[in-house]
């Protein structure tokens, strides 16, 4: 890997993480509830983007920048799990379970839809 690819990962990954923060905050401000809608929005949109990119024919370096650097830093598995665990600690078990089921179901759907879009001629 070249220095340019490493620099690209650094910059594109930084952009993805800042965008995740902005989207999460914007959604959380509009929907002030105990359900983590901001994280859900980020992860579902990221799954759709990953599906689209997966359906495209990219060079290994472009795929690294798009998949790993941008989408990998934009989406957030760890925050999803931490929020789910906190809901459980707060005895909001049904909300925690809903977070898991809804995230997986919508995430799979978004990824498949994104892949279908990416495969279109």
Known binding residues for Na(+) are 72, 75
The residue to which tokens 């459980």 are assigned: 88
User: Burial of 79 by CB count in 10 Å (0-12 exposed, 13-18 middle, 19+ buried)?
Assistant: middle
| Among candidate residues 109, 87, 114, the one with its CA nearest the CA of residue 100 | 87
DSSP state letters, 20-54: HHHHHHHHHHHS-SSS-HHHHHHHHHHHHHHHHHH
Sign of the torsion angle spanned by Cα atoms 101, 103, 106, 110: negative
Give binding residues as ranges: 72, 75
């Amino acid at each position: 890997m070249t220095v340019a690819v490493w620099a690209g990962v650094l910059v594109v990954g930084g952009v993805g993480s800042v965008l995740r923060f902005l989207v999460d905050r914007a959604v959380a401000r509009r929907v002030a509830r105990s359900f983590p809608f901001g994280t859900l929005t980020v992860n579902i949109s990221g799954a759709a983007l990953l599906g689209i990119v997966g359906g495209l024919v990219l060079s290994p370096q472009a795929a690294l920048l798009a998949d790993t650097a941008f989408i990998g830093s934009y989406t957030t598995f760890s925050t999803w799990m931490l929020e789910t665990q906190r809901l459980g600690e707060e005895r909001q078990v049904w909300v925690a379970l809903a977070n898991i089921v809804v995230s997986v179901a919508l995430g799979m759907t978004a990824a498949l839809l994104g892949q279908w879009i990416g495969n279109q001629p």
